[in-house]
Structure 1
């Protein structure tokens, strides 16, 4: 459990590093890069959330997640490049030697101001951890849903470490809810719905999910079964396209607006995955007998 908070510890170390850096070298360069990065992240996540809506309203082209991510990344990169020059110019003007703000450019005041770029860097770091953890969690959900898993008792590896790291980040008050708004891929409702869509394809996993009170309403949902018949989702599942599954508009609507949204919100997926693996019969190899 304590290892789950490793990213939080690393974030505290990053704050101390930035504090020392700006104390000796000044805050202008770090602050301008941080503010530009913040604008780039806002542009990226806003594009990821809004472009599908715009495309759907126009109805002129199919917006795949590859095009969505590439377009959003290009816009974010342009914003970052322009932002560095703009913010550096503004901050140099504000902190010039003749300004009353110059005393905040370095030393203790500058180090205190480093909290701003530190927070931005931590936000980016946490987003990356969440995305990696979500990909690994969905891959793990798919791996335990393969045929023949019932004969793998005692041989299934544990849930990946990054899943625990991501969960540790989300246990920090208000952090999980804030990141859910920004990032549709690692959004807790979306990724849990995607995991259940993957797992209920397996007879053995579905049977286990139906045996638990916290997962039964989701596993037996007719809406989830209808999603499984959608051509685009079937294709994404077959091609192991995790982004394509989570970013599907119908799946996101199911996760947030269905009658079982509260069940999806309340369920904790890691204990469910671990519980299924622990429920598998343990077989001894012939060599050990």
Structure 2
């Protein structure tokens, strides 16, 4: 008999502001990194009027991370030092590997003054932090779905496999076996997802989702992140119309030193990143 994952910890999202005054909900950020490893940050951007979007995210640097931006309503326009100038819309996503250095901007493209999406920071292993940067955007129609008898499950990053069924996203990260899903369910729908990486979390952005663990059922409400036990399938039911993100991955178990947009393994590497940025060598 297969086991199911239980809720071991929960975190409520808190209001925050980033970039040039963009209002958002910050779900995970700096410590406890070990609890989230290999994920570093999860932000929910949800705006119903232009003022909440401020001046977007003007040009800024990164080193040592990957960013994944997933849009539900509206989109973002991305520009970077590599010459990419691309826009993703409703239901699309962007993936960027900063590696040794990226300077980019992300400007909101609202739909009728509305914007709703998420940005995830995924840590990179020490051996890859100085790799060449990369960028990819994926339209909604190119994002595959895991077959469900009820509800909808989009595979944004990584892959899901059980028996002879495998669904693979356009971006797969072998280093962390990272998985990101966007799941939407109607009231009383039930889903069982074969989530194999050790670390797994769900963030509920709409409704209430019940996690059926081995010993109990825990309800996870809107704007809450639930950290799950490290083995078994993910069995969920919806109390009402619900939507949530699943994030899973294999821990890197490496030191994490973060300062602003840079995430490295030592303080000296962080100081070098700032010096490289000041002297124009970050992207050289």
- Which bin holds the TM-score, normalised by the shorter protein? under 0.3
Give the alignment's TM-score, normalised by structure 2. 0.24
More helix by percentage: 1
Q: Write 1 or 2 for the structure with the bigger share of strand.
A: 2
TM-score, structure 1 as length reference: 0.24
